[in-house]
Amino acid sequence: MFKKTILKNGLRIITIPMKNTKTVNFLVLVGVGSKYETKEINGISHFLEHMFFKGTKKRSNTLEIAETLDRVGGEYNAFTSNEMTGYWAKVASPHQDIALEWVSDIFLNSKLETKEIEREKGVIIEELNMYLDTPVSYISDLWEKVLYGNQPAGWRVIGEKENIQNMTRNKLVDYLKNHYTASNTIVCAAGDISPRLIEDKIEKHFKKISNIVHEQKIKVKEKQEKPESLVYFKETDQTHLCLGVRAYNLFHPQKYALILLATILGGNMSSRLFIKIRERKGLAYYVRTSPESNTDTGCLVTSAGVDHKNVGEVIRLILKEYRFFKNNLITKEELKKAKDYYKGNVFLSLESSDSQSSFYTSQELLKKEILSPNQIFKKIDRVTINDIKKVAEDIFKPKKLNLALIGPFKEKEKFNKLLKI
């Protein structure tokens, strides 16, 4: 059960009481991320997230901010993606007032001091260097780059080093003013709470939030006529790759069939690709297929880390499975297993107060609609074997096929020759 309340200023409050927990999680979610940026300020959403932990009018520095929740054994952090930025705090329920005051303080009262901005540039650049040195993470950035190119959806969330170095207080303040507004923000409380009481407290703590109209993002442009690839040269011990296709956004009626298709392909340890590539041939430690859906973009992608000499074979095996789904019907048993797996996975993922917060709040932010697990399961149950085949026929086409790869390769022609579906 959850309750959604909209205040007069447009701020949305979601409360999720949970009987079997002694914790409370507060999540403040804002509808802004790297898709809302221009080339000149790419990375600013992530930079601003960092600055919220550097000092407020009440807590003058990072130590005072951290100690507030450390003293009560709390957990806290923040995150930035291409369409949202979130700040959260999770504590034992007796300390929920402390956590709510804390998260509202960093959200509304951060000082954004120039000296802290200059210091944080080095921190973020080292974070970027860490990603660049971690192919299993960086391959995701390259995948989005090959899909969307030189537009916000194809840029790194963390930004480029030049932009990080050139960040100023004025840029951060302007961005904060244009996006961190009441109508673009959701505050969620989940766990051992009294919904009516916590609503009143949230309204009190967030009464100063700006209520100006927030800026909108530019719609993503997708244009592709043939298979595309991006090969990033790096002397690695193994090659990391993402191979997949453009697919469906959050509002597409076939997105649930896409979820099940991805599950059957490579969503778990008994999936087709996991068994064939890892268990039967021993070609990879990790191989997985996942669907990704945002408000205006979507894809299905298979990721794997393999020995350099086996890259071609693995690409061929993945594409062989893609072709199978396009040309054949799956079995009733496969479909039932995928549905049961999905349902069980959802229930397992919703055991904690922080996961409940994320589940309901992200739906409200991105879709302006919240479905309960059972409502989603009804949509999953309606998916048929023919639906899976129709989706496969629609997405597994040459003009939707893409490959991103990190490894000791400088030429991509030999990989392009493999991209046939």
Residues designated catalytic:
49
> Of 391, 406, 409, which Cα lies nearest the Cα of 245?
391
Whether 421 contacts 266, CB under 8 Å: no
Whether 259 contacts 377, CB under 8 Å: no
CA distance 352 to 100: 18
CA distance 110 to 133: 32
The percent helix, strand, coil of the chain (3-state, each to 5) is 50, 20, 30
> Of 238, 302, 228, 306, which Cα lies nearest the Cα of 271?
302
Whether 157 contacts 41, CB under 8 Å: no
> Of 289, 59, 29, which Cα lies nearest the Cα of 184?
29
List the structure tokens of 232.
């990033």
Write the DSSP symbol of residue 235.
-
Amino acid at 385: I
CA distance 121 to 46: 11
List the structure tokens of 43.
């990375």
Laid out side by side, the sheet with 85-92 consists of: 3-6, 12-17, 185-191, 23-30, 85-92, 75-80
Q: Tokens 């020995």 appear where? A: 307
3-state secondary structure 3-71: EEEECCCCCEEEEEECCCCCEEEEEEEECCCHHHCCHHHCCHHHHHHHHCCCCECCCCCHHHHHHHHHC
Cα-based torsion angle of the residue sequence 115, 118, 121, 126 in order, rounded to the nearest 10 degrees: -80
